[in-house]
Structures are given as structure tokens and as C-alpha cells.
Structure 1
Amino acid sequence: MTELAGGTDTHIDRARQRWAELMGAGGVQDRAGGPVAAADLPVPACLSAASGRGQVTLTWDPVPGAIGYAVHRAPAEDGPFELVDHGGGDVLAVPHGAYADTTAEPGKEYWYAVAPLATVNAMGPLSAPVPARPTVDGPATVDVTVDAGGDAGPLHRPWRRVVGSEHLSHLLCADLTGGQPIGADLRAALRRVRDELGVESVRAHGILCDDLGVYRNVDGVSRFDFSGVDRVYDTVMDLGMRPVVELSFMPRDLARDPDKTVFAYRGCISPPSDWDRWGELVGALTAHLVERYGLAEVRDHWPFEVWNEANLSVFWSGTPDEFWRLYEVSARAVKLVDSGIQVGGPASAAVGWIDDQLATAAPLDFLSTHTYGSPPLDLRPLAAAAGRPDLPLLWTEWGVTASHGSTINDTVFAATFLLRGMRSVAGRVDGLAPWVASDHFEELGRPERLLHGGFGLLTVGNLAKPKYWALALAERLGDVELPAVSRGDGADGLVECWAARRADGTVGVLLWNGTLDHGKASGDSTLDRDVTVTITGLPVERYTLRHLRVDATHGNVAETWRALGGEEWPDDDQWAVLGEADQIPLLEPDRDVTVRGGGVEVTLDLPMPSISYLELRPI
């Protein structure tokens, strides 16, 4: 046997090299670069690999100081160990166990090891390896027990804090896409996520872009005009929401390299030609917002985020040092208006530059970053190590993929992904922003057809995709989280449960079956599970049981559109049919159930991917 737990084995070096290839030049994070450092973290203990039908579920003890874990797999005990690639891109790490590996070949033996991460560029030692063999068949059952009389604390709904959107001048656009007026449709989308999902704020790029005319250099004199910003932010406020003020992109008259742009709307990604004038612009904008909307409103509810993903050269044509200068100038300009206004960053891609941000001497009121394809990592150890254990954490972009036009965005798979991430971060972040609210999105051009693989929770025309219904079901849960224990084949790694109680005694149990493996996005019958839910501690004798479902044929607008023979855009009759189908359907009629021995037992099939919501209302 080759020892893998000491930090010097060649397999660890290979693991770090592979991680560097993923995170370094040519990868998604093209500013990380260099070798991956050896993190001074303990070896993960008590790694367990439970074989099941079509999958292996891994669990391990948390490592103090780790922000996440890189799961490795090998064909033999002595390696070679490679990262388990579930196809999500970005950062192939998870914040904790359980992790269900569904990429392995059933019937074949594998060896698994887990390495902790101190940052995305610092990896600790691999654990001692353990064997497992995913099976071809088997019972594939999961038992879930929910204590309806328990109290696991207030239910945290991370999606309420903020949602992403296309640049907000789009709210004012009178053009049509698919026959729908863009501005009105986007406004309706934001109103719907506010009313139905409880979302409070919206984040978007480009508030300083030239389409809003905020800055001009006239004969060497800076001229500010915030009337366009007013129209946009007035609209946001009228919708009952607030903005996250992302300070981007650079006005052309202030840009050192005005021809360096991104997206179809040509957002300028250049550093400023004059740093003092950039500071004046940020300060003038901040002062104007305070004057228009009130100091208490802006100070307490409008976080200012500096730029977007400057660790990607596609978003920042300057050097890293120039970005940190941009951050400092911006943050200090905001604070000169009022020291209590929140400012933060680095709004980085792939969890990059977090340690750099924490090391800066500039004002910092919150950390923000982005990731795609995996649940967000746990940044609390980094904040604590910097002496800021209570620093708010905002993930201002997150989703199943960072790829524009990927069909996975429109699937039930994406819906289970959203629930996995939201449950993972509940209680440890201040907000997790799905990217984005609406398919009215034109970074790489406007949609050419309905369900084109856009990032939106809602389609053009504001039809709910499965991932919208996932959050709508989570929003239905009560305010008191209930203890829930799952056991069986894929429990917690494949099949998860989130339960809560309302003030009137209604109990909601949200169940989903999902994997992070993009190769299984269309489903895999070997991963379907039979689930038995036992709800104990019920105080009254009779309840009405409601069972709502999202799966391939329920709550799936793509399936409805296919049944209509849809190709590009609906006609009037098809829009009407789609509108009538825009609801979460019952899987079965409501029925009354009688409590026996203080509990109720419900059995259901749970395909992968799918979501079930059980609601018990006291009679």
C-alpha cells in the first residue's frame, strides 16, 4: 500500500498539478496561474465510501480551516488519483460531504481519496484511500424521518437576498423578442421573483456604461449625468426591489483603452485613464444616490460591489495590481460620502482573489465571489483567519453552468442543482444569487427562440422553468426548520430533504433526487429511488396531504413546448396553452391522512432528476 496521507507522495503532487491545470492559465480562472501551494491542513479523517446502485456516496469528517474538498478517484489503491470531474467546470470542489459520484462505471472497483482546500490555490494532503464499487442493480431505497415537533432553528432562504439580471437599462428597452416587449417583460420577471420568491435585490452589470450617459469628458472637464441611472433605479424601486450597485463598466471617455470591450453591448473593460476622475465619478454617483433615495436607504440596503470578475481577462484588460488600485479608489470614494455605506468585492470568478481581497487595507464590508457547476465553497475559515469572522458573504453569481445557451439551464437537473446549493449554504452565507431572473439577456445576443438554454429562472414571456419551481417550492416551506434524517442508497448525496413547519402547524417536506454529474442531466434510471418518508411528532389527528412534483412531465415547460411541436417562438394559441400550464402540478389528488402513533408514513418514487413537495395541513 502507498501512503497518501502525509503530503509528500507523488500522487499528491499529481493531484495538485491537475488542480493547477484546471485553475491556472488557459482554464476558467486565467489569472490564478502558478503551482498549487501545499496547504497546512490536517488529513481528512473517517472517509467512507458507500456503494449503491449507479453511484458511490462519500462522507468524511470536516477539516478545520478547509473551504472545500477536492474528491479524487483511482483505479487502484496506489493510484494514480485524478479529480472526479462531474462536468460542471469552474471549481471542481465541494464545500462538504456527502458527495455522490455518479460518473463511475457500475460494477467496477475504484479507490477514493479527498483533499482539503485552504484556498482555491492551496490544497492539503489526500486522505487515506478507501474502495467502493457502484452496483448495477439493488434495492435503491431511501428512508427519511422528519420530526414535525422538533426545532432546528429558523429556516434560512438564501435566494431572497439577491438575484442576477441583464444590464438594467434593458428594463427600459421597447424592442421585441419573441413578440414580447423586452423592458415590460423583464420588469414583470423581476416583479414575479419579488412577489413569489421573496427576492429583495437585483444585481446587474453596466450601470456606468455609455447607454446611460453617466460620464463625458468635455474639453478636459468631467461632466456627470445620472438621469439614466435614475430611470433605471426608480424602476427597480417601483418593483419593490433594491439594487446591488455593481460599479462597472468603464465609460469610454474615461477609459485608457476604450476599444477593450466585452459582450454585444460593448461594456468597456479598461482601467481608467485618470484615477482621480474615476474616484470623482464613483463619489458623485454615491452622493447622488444618497440625495435621491435617502442616506438610511442606501446605507442599510444598497451594497456597492467593485467591478465584475476582474480575475478574468475578458472582464479586465488591466493588471491585477491595477484592479486593486481600482478597488481602493472606489471603496474610499464611497466611504467619503458616508462611512456606513457597504462596499465590497472582489466579485471574482471561480472563488478567485479572496485571500488577496482580505489582505487589502482598503475598506471592506462584505466578500463577494462567483462559482458555477458546484455548490459554493465555505469562505468562513478565510474570513476568520483574517480576523473578520462576521464578515458578510455574498455569492453574487451562481448557477449550474457558466455557458451561454446551454440546454442544461432549462432542465429539471438544474432545478435539483439549485436546491442542493441553497440547502448547502443555508445559515453560512448572507445571499446566493441565481444568475439570472429572466431569459431576456443579451450578453452574446438576444434569444433566437423560446427555451434557448438561457440562464433565466423564467423564459421570455415569463414562463417558469423547473429551477424557478424549485425555489418556489422552497419558499413554501415554513419558518421553523425541522430535524430530518436520511438513510439508504444515496441518502444526502443523491436524495436530500429539507423540512420546515409554519405557524399554523402545516408541515412541508421538500425532497429531491439529483446529482452534480452533467452527464446524467437527462436522467438515469439506475439513479431513480424509492423513498419512504416518516413524519413523527404530529400534534393533531388528521391532516390533508398535498403532493406537488417537478420532473420530466410535471412543472417542465420544455416538455409542454415540445408537445406543442414548438421550434422557435409560440403563436398566440401556443402562448395561451403555455400560460395555462405555468403552475406546479399535483402529482396526485389531495387526500386526508390519519395520524397513527404520532406519525404519518408516505412512500413515493423519486426519479433522478425530480423534486417532490409533501405538505401536511392540519384539519
Structure 2
Amino acid sequence: MPRTIVPTEPAGTLSDAWRTCVGTGRFNLALRRDYQDSLALAQRDIGFRYIRGHGILHDDVAVHRPYDAAGHRGTAYVFTYVDQVIDAYLEIGIKPFLELGFMPSALASGDQTVFWWHGNVTPPRDHAEWAQLVQALLRHLIDRYGLDEVRTWPVEVWNEPNLDIFWKDADQEAYFRLYEASVLAVKEVDAELQVGGPAISPGADDWWKPFADFVTARDLPADFLSVHAYSSGPAQHVPFGVYQTLRAPQNLLDQFARPREILAGTVLADRPLHITEFNTSYRPDNPVHDTAYNAAYLAPVLANGGTHADSFSYWTFSDVFEENGVPASFFHGGFGMLAYRQVRKPTYHLYAFMARMGQEVLARGDDHLVTRHAGTGQVTVLAWQPVGGSESPEEPDRHEVRLSIPAPTGGRVFAMRHDVDETAGNAWAAWREMGRPASPSAWQLDALHEASEPARRAFSLPVAPGADGGRVDLDLTLGRHGVTLVTLDPVRDETPPWVDDARIVARD
């Protein structure tokens, strides 16, 4: 197998689009301890900038509160839960990416709902009252957190209106009316607040041109564009779960690129593009989300997605998520990169590995990304076994990556290697061997935490002279569906001359 020669000079800068935003279950769930502990862990290890989810205007957050009692009639806007959640977000260094939805029942024009928690998906019975609600929310946030801060929070109008489960009859004209009322309301509060949409699902490319025509004809703001991306096929249902085919990872990158291709030449061509949801499967009960395969599948997407989008938000950070009701088992194919009780899945480790990459990109390949930290000179290598989706042959048990990496001339480098694959760093595999307990006991939960730890190994490698300076040969053998992080630092040898490790056990 030939060795890839990694250049000495950077070819560019690694985009942070992969961690600009992360998805979450509905807004109200942020009040739960498991949710808060999981998000704090993700912020410690990864450090997302924004968080986006549904339901800030849903009845269980109780913002919109009509009253008629004792001769008094009107509408109160109550922010008790909004404040608790956003305070908690900001305390751990993450900002809200505000999605306007779903419709408060007292303002809704119908009773169609989605999900176990009954998010109302009908247009407002009064668009002026809807605009007042939006403005009340934003003015409260500005009063509490300051105008300069709230100007940094994107405001997205609705969620997947092209699907009739999320917007009554998938009525495009009705969505455009909602969009107009919403963006004008936002800009009336402050012209520099950032608002956009249309938050459409995969397969809705026929919405882009009408949306561009509408905002152009009506001279409406669209400070950013948003769209979702998933790569799975139709659901094959079983009790409490589904199986689905998967297209190749390149399909996700193609979806990221598609809006700008379609909108080239329109007034929206240069707008920031946010993929406000993406994952392999669009189902919260597909076991692929729990596997090492999911991490290997997404590795090239995280490495290259910033080429096409300003952000792409993994859906979601935690299994504290209830679209289909309360999950029936500890591992249940949930969207989260974290299972309950902060048990880390392989995809979580992929993100944590990415968080340790440097700013300077030295090399990209089908199975690797090599970066360097500008300040310290540390070289970081992310390697993965390529996977091709359901139509590709089954992956082998081993995958080889061979790299020649630049290093300071002379001496050695210290390497620290972290591995996740079908056996290492894989709590789901351990849970399966346990017999798939629906509600793990205390000792089983401890075992799952231990099993979720990546395999780690420390070693050193010699630096050999090369035509362009020192070189280190790094040969990696990855396990099936493996993702590996290796950090490389020069060794400064401070071993005293009298040290002889061979004498530790005092043999002749």
C-alpha cells in the first residue's frame, strides 16, 4: 500500500462549520437534569456555539397565555421556562438558534398536531397576533440578554413546511404568508436581527426557486437560508424501531451543496447557508445512530462539509428526545450522540476527536484528515475506514492508513492514539452483549460507561531526515468501522544519563 506524503505547508484552514450548531429535542426538555448534564459534557469535550430545536412557542413552554377572568380579558406572554432554559444555555457557553414554532393552541387555526407531544402545525388564525407573539418573545430576550447578544442569535421561521406532517397540507402559499408576517415582525423589533428559512426537508428542491421569487417580489429579508439533510431510505418498521437503507456519505455533502447550486444567479445566491438538521437516518428509532458505522460514515462529512455550508447541525446531541413517545429501551436508535446518563456513542467520539484537530489543514483524503495547531505545532491525524452505504460491499475487518508526516528534524515524536470501532469505545456493542437490557442496573450502567471509553495507546516514533525536513512514518491499522485520532508532539528527552530501565527488576 503506497504511503501518502503529507505536505509541510498548510493547504487551508479547517472550517468550524461542523460544530457551529447542534440539534436538540424540544425546548421544554432542557429543564431535565439528564439533558443538562449531557449538554454540559458536550460543551466540555466539543464546544458547540449554537443549539437548535423545536417548540419554543409550544404550549408546554407556556409563552402564549390568553386569559378571561374577573372582567379581565387579554393575552399574557409568560417567559418563566424560556428564561430558565436560555440562562442554562448561556451559562455553559452555547447560544440559542431560535426556531419559531410550533403554533400555540389558542392561536392555531386548526387542531392538527405532530409528535407524541402534540406540536400544532396549523397556520395562525390571526397573523397579526402571531406577529405580536414573535415580537413579544424577541423584546423580552433583548431586555434580558441585551440587544448586542440577541443580534447574534439566528431566527428561523418554522420547520420543514414542505411536509404535511409539519405544516398543514404542506401549503407553500400559506408558509410564505407566515414567513412574511414573521420576518417583518422580527425586523420591526430590530433591523439587525438575523432571520431566515425556509428550513425545508431533503427532497424539496422545488421550493427554492419559488421561495427566492417570493422574497424578491415582496422585498423581504432572508439573512440566511436553512435546509435539512438525511441520507436514509424508507422506513422498514418493527416494534419500537425501524431499519433503513443508507446512501453513500457523499450524498450528504451533495445535499449540503445543492441549495447554492439551485440559487446561483438569484438574490439569495450569496446568503449564509445553515444545514439546521442532518444525520444518517431521519428516524429517532433507527439503531444505526448507536453504532460505530455511524461515526465512520460521518467522518468524511465533518471533515469536508464546511466547503459547502456555513454550519451543519447534527440532529441531535442527546437521546433525551421524545418525538415518538418515551423510548422503550436504553439504546433505541435515538438521534443523540449521547445516550441517556451521558453514555457516549461512537459518533460522540468522532465529534470529540474533531474538537482536538488543529486549524491548519495539511492533507485531506478519502480516509484521513491531517491538521496542525498553529501555536504549538502539534500535528493531529483523524483517520477512518471508508463506508459506502447500503449498496457497497461489507467493509473488511481491517483498514490500513499509511502517512508520511512532517516533523522537526532529529529525535522522536510522541504519539497518543485513540480508537473507536466495533469493539473499542462502543457502548452499544457492550449493551448488545449484555442482552440488550431495557433499563440497565447500576452495575450495567457503570459497565456501559467503561465500554464507551476509546482504546488508547501511547508510543513514540523516530524522525527521519527528508528532502523537505524531518519526516515521521505513521502506519495505522483501524478496526472495522474504525475512527482513530492520533496526536503527534516532538519529544524533548530529559532522561538522566544514569537511568537504566533494564535494571528495574535487578536481574543480572
TM over 0.5: yes
Deviation at 1:289, TM superposition (A): 1.0
Which residue pairs with 2:462 in the alignment?
Answer: 593
Deviation at 1:417, TM superposition (A): 2.1
Q: Secondary structure at the match of 2:324?
A: coil
Which residue pairs with 1:316 in the alignment?
Answer: 167
1:307 paired to 2:158: yes
Which residue pairs with 1:132 in the alignment?
Answer: none
Which residue pairs with 1:150 in the alignment?
Answer: 9
Q: Separation in 2 of the partners of 1:519 and 1:447?
A: 30
Conserved in 1, the CA contact under 8 Å of 2:346 and 2:420? yes
Deviation at 1:414, TM superposition (A): 0.7
Q: Deviations over 1:121-155 (max 9, x none)?
A: xxxxxxxxxxxxxxxxxxxx4643222x2112221
User: What root-mean-square deviation, in Å, do the aligned CA atoms of Structure 1 and Structure 2 show?
Assistant: 2.0
Which residue pairs with 2:238 in the alignment?
Answer: none
| Unmatched 5+ stretches in structure 2 | 232-250, 492-508
Q: Separation in 1 of the partners of 2:398 and 2:392?
A: 12
Which residue pairs with 1:249 in the alignment?
Answer: 102
Conserved in 1, the CA contact under 8 Å of 2:426 and 2:453? no
Q: Separation in 2 of the partners of 1:280 and 1:575?
A: 48
Distance 1:322 1:602, change over 3 A: same
Q: Separation in 1 of the partners of 2:137 and 2:196?
A: 16
Q: Separation in 2 of the partners of 1:351 and 1:339?
A: 32
> Residue type matched to 1:542 in 2?
R
Conserved in 1, the CA contact under 8 Å of 2:160 and 2:199? yes
1:612 paired to 2:484: yes
Q: Separation in 2 of the partners of 1:252 and 1:530?
A: 56
> Residue type matched to 1:164 in 2?
G
Distance 1:192 1:142, change over 3 A: farther
Conserved in 1, the CA contact under 8 Å of 2:52 and 2:96? yes
Which residue pairs with 2:192 in the alignment?
Answer: 340
Conserved in 1, the CA contact under 8 Å of 2:22 and 2:51? yes
Q: Structure 1 stretch 203-212 or stretch 597-606: which is displaced more?
A: 597-606
Q: Separation in 2 of the partners of 1:186 and 1:403?
A: 20
Q: Separation in 1 of the partners of 2:230 and 2:2?
A: 28
Q: 235, 238, 252: which one pairs with 1:375?
A: 252
Which residue pairs with 2:141 in the alignment?
Answer: 289
Q: Separation in 2 of the partners of 1:474 and 1:575?
A: 26
Which residue pairs with 2:432 in the alignment?
Answer: 562
Q: 406, 413, 417: which one pairs with 2:286?
A: 406
1:422 paired to 2:271: no
Q: Structure 1 stretch 421-430 or stretch 242-251: which is displaced more?
A: 421-430
Q: Secondary structure at the match of 1:212?
A: coil
Conserved in 2, the CA contact under 8 Å of 1:216 and 1:224? yes
Q: Which runs of 4+ in 1 moved over 4 A?
A: 537-540
> Residue type matched to 1:501 in 2?
R
Which residue pairs with 1:268 in the alignment?
Answer: 120
Q: Secondary structure at the match of 1:327?
A: helix
Q: Deviations over 1:193-224 (max 9, x none)?
A: 22211201110100001111111334573332
Aligned length: 454
Which residue pairs with 2:240 in the alignment?
Answer: none
* TM-score (normalised: structure 2): 0.85
1:354 paired to 2:208: yes
Q: Separation in 1 of the partners of 2:37 and 2:391?
A: 34
> Residue type matched to 2:164 in 1?
S
> Residue type matched to 2:455 in 1?
P
Deviation at 1:186, TM superposition (A): 0.5
Which residue pairs with 2:390 in the alignment?
Answer: 518
Which residue pairs with 1:574 in the alignment?
Answer: 444
> Residue type matched to 2:212 in 1?
L
1:506 paired to 2:386: no
Q: Deviations over 1:568-599 (max 9, x none)?
A: 1221112222223432222x442343334321
Q: Deviations over 1:151-187 (max 9, x none)?
A: 1222112222110001121122xxxxxxxxxx11101
Q: Deviations over 1:479-532 (max 9, x none)?
A: 111134x5xxxxx2xxx21111112121111111122413669x532x853332
> Residue type matched to 2:14 in 1?
L
| Unmatched 5+ stretches in structure 1 | 1-140, 173-182, 487-491
Q: 76, 87, 95: which one pairs with 1:223?
A: 76
Q: Structure 1 stretch 554-563 or stretch 461-470: which is displaced more?
A: 554-563
Q: Structure 1 stretch 464-473 or stretch 350-359: which is displaced more?
A: 350-359
Identity in percent: 34
Q: 83, 86, 90: which one pairs with 1:237?
A: 90
Q: Separation in 1 of the partners of 2:107 and 2:418?
A: 53
Q: Secondary structure at the match of 2:330?
A: coil
Distance 1:274 1:428, change over 3 A: same
Q: Separation in 2 of the partners of 1:536 and 1:402?
A: 41
Q: Separation in 1 of the partners of 2:260 and 2:410?
A: 41
Q: Separation in 2 of the partners of 1:537 and 1:428?
A: 31
Q: Separation in 2 of the partners of 1:428 and 1:383?
A: 13
Deviation at 1:285, TM superposition (A): 1.1
Q: Separation in 2 of the partners of 1:296 and 1:444?
A: 38
Conserved in 2, the CA contact under 8 Å of 1:157 and 1:422? no
Which residue pairs with 1:450 in the alignment?
Answer: 330
Q: Secondary structure at the match of 1:511?
A: strand
